[in-house]
Structure formats: C-alpha cells, structure tokens
Structure 1
Amino acid sequence: ALMSSPPAKLRVQPDDESPAILPDELITEVLSHADVKSLMQMRCVSKTWDAMISDPKFVKLHLKRASRNPSLTLFLSKSRIDGDNNVVPFPVSCLIENPMITLPNDPYFRLRDKECRYVIGSCNGWLCLLGYSSIGAYRQIWLRFWNPAMHKMTEKLGYIWDNILGLYTHFKFAFGYDELSETYKVVLLILDEARNRTNVQILSLGDDMWRSIQSFPAVPLPFRYSNPGVNDVVYLNGSLNWLALRDSFRSIGVYGWKNVNVKEFVIISLDLGTETYRQLMPPCGFDEMSPVEPSICVLKDCLCFSNDYKRTDFVIWKMEVFGVEESWTQLFRISYQNLQSMHLDFVDLQYSQWLPLHLSDHGDTLILANKQERQAILYNLRDNRAVRTRITDDIQWFSAKVHVESLVSDILKVSAS
C-alpha cells in the first residue's frame, strides 16, 4: 500500500529546530547576492533567517556585494508636462543590452506624491530628496530620505527659509556618509557674493539641526547655481568632492572659460568625518583651457576628471589612489569623430559639455551624457562605436544618479512609505 506520508525520520519540521542542511556561512554568502525584494520575502522563512538578514554585519556585506554588481540602478529625473518629476529606476545592464529600453511608469516613484521635486544624491541605498513650497516672496525648503527598495521614507526635516530665488541662485546640496561616526550628512553650500565667499552648513541626520563649519576654500562650480539635482558633486570614500576655482568670484557665463587659467582649477574634498577640507590638483595632462567646462565623476570606485583636448578628443583621467595627486593616469581618450551622429556633427560635439555616468563592470562600455542631446550615449571602448539610447521620455541625464539597492534601514527613525 502507498504511504500517505513519509516515514517520521525523513520528515522535515517547518520550524527553527530543523537541522540545517547547509552551514550558516554558506547560506549567508548565497543570500548576500540576492536582491532586496527577495531578501525581504526570505525573512518570513524562519526566525533564524529573519535575524540573519537583519543583522548589521549581513546588511554591510550585502551592500558591498550590491555595490560591485554591474546591475546598478540609475535614477533619472523625468519631467512631465505638468511639472511633476519622477525617478525612473532601471538596471544599467539592461540599458547596455538594449538602448531602446521602455521605462516603467510606476506611480510609486512619483516625487510629487512625496512632496518633493529633486533627487539631491544617492548613498548606500538611500536617496536624498528636496522639496519646497512658496509663501509670498519666500520659499520653505525641506529634505526627505527614501530607501525605495525597503519602502522606507523619513518625515520632512532640515527646514530652511530663503527668498524665492535662493534655491536656484545661492544653494548647493550634497549627501554622503560619515564612516567615522556612521552618520549620514547633508552639506549645504550658500553663495555669499556680497562677502565674496561660500558659507557651508552641515546637517547630521540624527540631529535635524544645521550647523556652520569653515567656509568653502574656493569657488565651487558651476559659479551660477542651477537645478538642485544636477551632478556637480561626487561622493567617494567618506568624502564629498567639488570641482572649483581658486581665485575670486567671477561669472563664467559672462566672461567665458577662455579667461580662466587651468592652474585656477582645484578639486575640493570635504572629509565628512573630520569635516575638514583638502585640495587636490587636477591631472598634469590638463594643461590647456578650452571653451568647454571640465567635470569630475566616479567610475568604478575611482575619482575621475574629464576635459576637452584641443577640441578633437574627450579625455578621462583616473585617480588610482584617492587623494594621491601623483596617481592620476589617463583612462580613456575618445575622438569626437567617433561620437558623431546624424543630428550632431563634429563642430557641435566640440562645444558640448560631457559627463561620464557609468562604466560597465567589464570596463568595455561607457555611458555618457552631453548637454546637446536628449539621449545618452553608450560608447563601446573595444570597437570605438557610439550608440544613442532611444527613449521617448524627456530625461534629464545630467541629473542621473547611480544608485545601489540596500537593506540599510536605520538612517534615522523612519516610517513606511
């Protein structure tokens, strides 16, 4: 006769007392490669798994694994006709495989519903959002912090009052992580033209109180501030880094870059732990100014500097050891001839500012944005071939943020979003 159930010695009891088939170390290693959504579901398997996935050591291990994963996520600002901004998450690997990707239209990612308009930065799975409301001649500005994968959202905090134009003419925000105190911090640069300086304030997320530190030791670029979400600062190794000019304030928009000497450029690095500055010189190979503004970015965990070379090439330099100026090496030199398209000829590209967004895990595909085009460029470094993305949405590529999903949930007291 057929047995209605297996012998007792073969039965597996669905509780925490069951003997583990695999050692904990192996289970931890396997789970550390899973995505956040799957891990949140796995927490329901047992109390043991719930404790393992919630453990701070596992959270850090998972973040480390996710940061190395080529399937990073770019969050793109997507302007609607009604002025609403969305963030559109999608894996970079999917974009590289198919430039005609269709972006998801998920109401969950609508910033207006979160009473915010811009993404200031991304760090350890958390996005720093900025919102505001206008009251007469003044504007109230606030911040919120959001982990989309964990469905965690903070209340509004870091309130600031300023005149109606302050957000676009006087303020620069940046978001990063202080590894010494394990605290997330927002840095605010405030342009003070009357006193010819830039004041600096810091908000530690546990305090919800702005405090002043030493003023900025140079003039951060761009000189005239613009969209708060534009990438003009990079976070790396517990520091925030800006491209700046050493000398007095000047309006680049009026005088142009031809009146700027290359020796005036400097990278200002703010250590979020000590809250002190250091100045890093650009690469020695950047020895001639052009009409196009240089820029900085992070590619594969290295600080990079990019500039136009004699209006023929776009050059990217890599700082092999962060903070060591002698470690600058030329990473790529890309001819504008190879970046031409049906709509943009060589002359157009000569005068366009370029921003590297991401370098693929294998180092063979570079995602580039430029201010002349609505599409990004996927540049294959093996065969020097450029392919434009074909996305119909109006995407602000210069506001794109590289984002990594994480299990980090204790940025501060949070509520479910």
Structure 2
Amino acid sequence: MILGSCNGLLCLRYFGGKIVLWNMSIREYHWLPDTQMEFPGGFGSCEFANYGFGYDSVNEDYKVVRLVQFLNKKEKEFKVYSLKDDVWRRSQDFPYYLCYKYAWGVLVNGALHWAVTQTLESEEKFVLAFGISMEVYGMVPLPEFSDRCFHLTVHVLGGCLCLLCHYFGVRVDVWVMRQYEVKESWG
C-alpha cells in the first residue's frame, strides 16, 4: 500500500506492517525499523493506524508519521520516523480525531494535511496541517461552504491543497487553495 511519495521516493507499507522507502530510479530501498504501539495502560486494541510521508527541507531529512487511534477512541499515539536518525520517536499528543481511517496525510507546502474533528461527537470538520520541519500543528482556513452536510477529503492538485466535498449523491464540490494559508484564495 502506498503511504505517500516525495521527491521520487515511495513510502510503502506491506502486509504485516513493515514499511519501506523505495527509490525506483536507482533501485535502492530502506526498511524502517519496527516500532511498537504504546497501548494506553499497557494493553488494548488499535482501531486504525494512519500515515503520512514528506521531506523536511530545514533538516534535510525524510520523515514518516504514524497516528494510531485506539478502540477506546480517546487515546492516540503519534510517532515520527526520521530517515537521517533511522529512529521512531513519540511526538507531541495529537489533539484531534481523524475523520477517515484510510485517508493518508497529504503533503503540501512542507506540511501533511488531514480532515479532522475536535471531538468524537463533532460533525464540524477542519483541515489540520502538521509542519514536518518544526513538527507543529496548525489549522488551515477553509472556504465558506454553502452546506455543512458533506464528506470532506483532502488532496493535492497541481501542487495546491485541494478539498473534495461529497454531498451524498447530489454533487461534488472541488475547492483549490491557490495561495497556501490564504482563505481568500480558495476557488
């Protein structure tokens, strides 16, 4: 399964959880070391693991992030892998809840993006950006939607952040942010 691509590198996850970075052009690859899930209280079950992959231009490093949401839904684990150091480390707590299990982080402007909610019960969706270099979270300003009842997915189109709003069998709106982090540039 492809978790992401950047600068000609593919980040792939094989069945069984092994992750590899693969440079197809020079036919080289690097297996990431295994990392255990740190279950709350020492035991539990994983609901799902979500990933993102990108290049840290400040530190000249490639990074893979893994977000695990546990079945109790309140506990989460956020780890960052550094290719330069070849280690996984636990990062700051992930303060939101992913909307979709299989929507990998989308790399735009040096940040990975996901559709999130602030609470499990919340219907209101946001786009969260995780800056790969500084490893900080931020919210992306969203366009003015005509209706809030839709399925939101995050993509990249022509190097720009893109949102698809699926209005349950009625229509799909496509929004493209032409100037990153400028709300007025959505069109």
SS in 2 for 1:289: coil
Q: 1 or 2 for the larger relative contact order (CA 8 Å, sep ≥6)? A: 1
Q: Which has the higher helix share?
A: 1
Q: Is the 8 A contact 2:56 2:62 kept in 1?
A: yes
Deviations 1:136-167 (A, max 9, x none): xxxxx33211111221112x22302459x74x
Shift of 1:310: 7.7
SS in 2 for 1:159: coil
Amino acid at match of 1:321: Q
Q: Which residue of 2 aligns with 1:275?
A: 135
Q: Is the 8 A contact 1:197 1:216 kept in 2?
A: no
**Structure 1 residue 327 corresponds to structure 2 residue 171:** no
Q: Is the 8 A contact 2:97 2:116 kept in 1?
A: yes
CA gap of 1:221–1:309, structure 2 versus 1, over 3 A, is: closer
Amino acid at match of 1:296: V
Q: Is the 8 A contact 2:4 2:104 kept in 1?
A: no
Deviations 1:184-240 (A, max 9, x none): 000010113547143211010121211122111211121xx3xxxx54321111110
Structure 2, unaligned runs of 5 or more? 38-42
Which has more radius of gyration? 1
Give the TM-score, by structure 2 length.
0.85
- In 2, Cα distance between the equivalents of 1:308 and 1:157? 36
Q: Which residue of 1 aligns with 2:5?
A: 122
- In 2, Cα distance between the equivalents of 1:145 and 1:123? 10
**Structure 1 residue 142 corresponds to structure 2 residue 18:** yes
**Structure 1 residue 205 corresponds to structure 2 residue 83:** yes
Q: 2:155 pairs with 285, 297, 300, which one?
A: 297
**Structure 1 residue 220 corresponds to structure 2 residue 135:** no
Q: Is the 8 A contact 2:80 2:89 kept in 1?
A: yes
- In 1, Cα distance between the equivalents of 2:73 and 2:15? 27
What percent of counterpart residues are identical?
29
Amino acid at match of 1:242: W
Task: Give the root-mean-square deviation of aligned CA atoms.
Answer: 2.2
- In 2, Cα distance between the equivalents of 1:121 and 1:304? 16
Deviations 1:328-367 (A, max 9, x none): 12xxxxxxxxxxxxxxxxxxxxxxxxxxxxxxxxxxxxxx
CA gap of 1:210–1:237, structure 2 versus 1, over 3 A, is: same
- In 2, Cα distance between the equivalents of 1:308 and 1:239? 24
Structure 1, unaligned runs of 5 or more? 1-117, 134-140, 251-259, 330-417
Shift of 1:327: 2.0
Shift of 1:311: 4.5
User: How many residues are matched?
Assistant: 181
After superposition, residues 71-82 of structure 1 pair within 5 angstroms as none
Give the TM-score, by structure 1 length.
0.40
Amino acid at match of 2:9: W
- In 2, Cα distance between the equivalents of 1:288 and 1:323? 21
Q: Which has the higher strand share?
A: 2
CA gap of 1:170–1:182, structure 2 versus 1, over 3 A, is: same
CA gap of 1:310–1:171, structure 2 versus 1, over 3 A, is: closer
- In 2, Cα distance between the equivalents of 1:310 and 1:160? 38
**Structure 1 residue 180 corresponds to structure 2 residue 38:** no
Q: Is the 8 A contact 1:234 1:240 kept in 2?
A: yes
Q: Is the 8 A contact 1:286 1:307 kept in 2?
A: no
- In 1, Cα distance between the equivalents of 2:78 and 2:146? 29
